[in-house]
Structure 1
Amino acid sequence: MYKFNGFTQTGLNFLQDIRINNSKPWFDEHRSVYDHELIQPFRALVEQLTPEMLKIDKEFETRPAIGKTISRIHRDTRFSKDKSLYRSRLWLTFKRPSRDWKEAPAYF
């Protein structure tokens, strides 16, 4: 297990740069930065927080995976005025894995 020690300046720079260079070719070229400097630390953070979050609600989704506890960087542009392909921020959530998750505690 990788220990969460925060995010690197390289990872934070990636999030700033994706706002300017919001294209698939740029993202593909910098994918390793995204994977190593952002996703890997986010997974470690989820793993470290999981025991405490399960004390709050044993039904929380705690898999350290994109689309489960870690937000997707790809935007759904179908119904948005902003047609940017990628988000310039990431977050994690602990919530129940159901359509009615709004009826129970959730942490963002």
Structure 2
Amino acid sequence: MEVLNRIGVGSAARLSVAGGVVLGLIAGIIYSFGGAIIDILVSAGWVTSDETPGLSSGTALAFGALLGMPVIGGVTGLVAGALGAWLYNLVASRVGGVKINLQR
């Protein structure tokens, strides 16, 4: 059994950024798809809306999520990864690290 005494803050932050960007991209695609479906339903007259049919500010916002959600996910991942690694290092230095079994 090996003891994990320290986690590199930078490497944990980079890994968390990558995960946050991927999850943000998935969320942005889902949000954009939902916005497009709503606009199609409004244009077809199946759903009523106060806005004009077709491309509206809601559509622009939905497709803006394709850029915004990965950025938000990346920034959130950066903060969470760095903070999590820093807190782990702080606690592990006082009470000991996690024991893990590494096979060669």
Same fold (TM over 0.5): no
The structure whose Rg is larger is 2
Structure number with greater CO (CA < 8 Å, separation at least 6) is 2
Q: Which has the higher strand share?
A: 2
